[in-house]
């Protein structure tokens, strides 16, 4: 078990979550909770492991180094083993599991593996981008992979909204607005696009959609 698993937290847990988990473990492992000497010795052993894990994860520098070691170990071990024995669909499913657990770097690796093994689908690129949104220095990759998803499935509003939201998050307002408008053309009732465009003052009039898209909509 790694330190995150020992404390029962995800890889992207905050320091507050890590501290709370540590305190709970300490309470659960208090000697007064156990009756036999054997149970107390086991609790003491677990307490040392929990303390060791907390001392690393509470320190930002030590945690970064530990995360790097975990990733290196993963790449040298599990990734190599898995890639040699499973197909792209299984790699993608493993990526989804890791993503839901908050293990974004590992999820990224498996999504990339799935794509590299032939699953160059819109959904694969989309989920790769979602994982990369949580990782540093991936902005260009996020945009690139969302654009790949859009090019493969241009009628999927979800991909367009994801790209618009990402641009908005990064403060690139003009590109965000562009993609929200494109999403609205595909889905005139899209709540997210309408909400953001209204917040920017772009949607003001009752017949805005008709004016924006011409004859696509009829006057009410």
Number of H-type helices and E-type strands within the chain: 13, 0
pLDDT greater at residue 81 or residue 64: 64
Residues recorded for the chain? 220
Class of residue 106 by CB neighbours under 10 A (exposed 0-12, middle 13-18, buried 19+): buried
pLDDT digits (tens, 9 = 90+) for 143-185: 999 999 999 999 999 999 999 999 999 999 999 999 999 999 9
Give the domain range for residue 171.
160-220
Query: Are 47 and 9 members of one domain?
Result: yes
Q: Which of 154, 180, 199 corresponds to the end of one domain?
A: 154
Domain count, the chain: 3
Average predicted confidence (pLDDT) for the chain: 85
Nearest Cα residue to 118 out of 83, 144, 150: 83
Residue with tokens 């071990």: 77
Query: Are 149 and 169 members of one domain?
Result: no
**CATH number of the domain that 68 lies in?**
1.10.287.110
**CATH number of the domain that 139 lies in?**
1.25.40.10
Query: Are 47 and 114 members of one domain?
Result: no
Q: Which of 22, 43, 76 corresponds to the end of one domain?
A: 76
pLDDT digits (tens, 9 = 90+) for 77-111: 555 544 445 678 888 999 999 999 999 988 998 89
The pair of structure tokens assigned to 186 is 């595909």
pLDDT digits (tens, 9 = 90+) for 41-61: 898 999 999 999 999 999 988
Q: Which residues of 2-21 are buried (b: 16+ CB within 10 A; e: fewer)?
A: ebbebbebbbebeeeebbeb
């Amino acid at each position: 078990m790694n330190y995150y698993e020992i404390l029962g937290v995800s890889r992207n847990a905050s320091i507050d979550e890590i501290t709370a988990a540590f305190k709970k473990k300490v309470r659960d492992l208090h000697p007064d909770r156990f009756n036999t000497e054997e149970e107390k010795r086991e609790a003491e052993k677990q307490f040392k492991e929990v303390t060791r894990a907390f001392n690393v994860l509470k320190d930002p520098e030590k945690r970064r180094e530990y995360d790097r070691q975990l990733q290196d170990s993963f790449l040298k071990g599990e990734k190599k083993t898995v890639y040699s024995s499973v197909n792209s669909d299984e790699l993608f499913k493993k990526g989804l599991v890791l993503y839901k657990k908050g293990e974004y770097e590992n999820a990224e690796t498996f999504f990339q593996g799935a794509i590299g093994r032939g699953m160059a689908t819109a959904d694969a690129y989309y989920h790769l981008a979602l994982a990369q949104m949580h990782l540093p220095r991936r902005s260009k990759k996020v945009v690139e992979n969302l654009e790949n998803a859009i090019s493969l499935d241009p009628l999927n509003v979800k991909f367009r909204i994801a790209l618009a939201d990402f641009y908005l998050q990064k403060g690139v307002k003009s590109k965000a607005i562009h993609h929200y408008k494109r999403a609205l053309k595909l889905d005139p009732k899209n709540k997210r696009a309408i909400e953001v465009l209204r917040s920017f003052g772009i949607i003001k009039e009752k017949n805005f959609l008709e004016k924006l898209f011409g004859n696509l909509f009829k006057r009410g």
